[in-house]
Amino acid sequence: MRQFTGIDKLINSFDQALRSLVPGATSAHRENPANEVDTQLAVSEARHVAGLMRVNHSGEVCAQALYHGQALTAKLPNVRREMEFAAIEEQDHLAWCEDRLKELDSHTSLFNPVWYSLSFGMGALAGIAGDKYSLGFVAETERQVSLHLIDHINQLPSQDDRSRKILTQMNEDELHHRDTALKAGGVDLPLPVRIAMTGISKLMTKTSYYI
């Protein structure tokens, strides 16, 4: 099996970033769970749902960056493979959210390159700190993402089954990633780190809803 050089890894990281940030560059591996559902929304409802889906899309950009950064610096091959597999599943979420935004005649967040850069750096640092902390970082990230998804599901208009189907499947996947990371040896992160993650998440949420 070919051993990748530092230049190979750099090129691959750049390609992953482009696929995560350029609209239409990411394709889902699984069928969109909302394909068989029809929904009609009022203008004000569609605007609110678009804001929620834009936040969720930004969250998936962050997830891609975290996994890419962690896979780059993970020490154990099995942990690296786990990060890479999780990133592939997160690609589905990215594509599904983008599809829904197009349906709502809306757009992805202009700040996504900022969120990607910050998250990639945090993921790489977590990998450098050690695999047990890297896995713990995944578990905590997915826990916080799940809380956001549940909140957004509760905010959806009652008739918006398309968005609900997407977010429900996303939440199931996030909880699976969390449980997998914990079973693989992830540890609880220090309280200051968890607080910092929550703060960054709130900033991303409030910004991406509008821009």
Enumerate the known binding-site residues.
60, 90, 93, 142, 174, 177
Binding-site residue positions for Fe cation: 60, 90, 93, 142, 174, 177
Locate 116 and state its tokens. 């990607």
Burial grade of 18 (CB within 10 A; 0-12, 13-18, 19 or more): exposed
Of 132, 142, 146, 130, the C-alpha closest to 183 is 132
Q: Tokens 């945090």 identify what position?
A: 122
- Torsion angle of C-alpha atoms 135, 133, 6, 22, degrees rounded to 10: 50
DSSP 40-74: ---HHHHHHHHHHHHHHHHHHHHHHHHHHHHHHH-
According to DSSP, residue 8 is labeled H
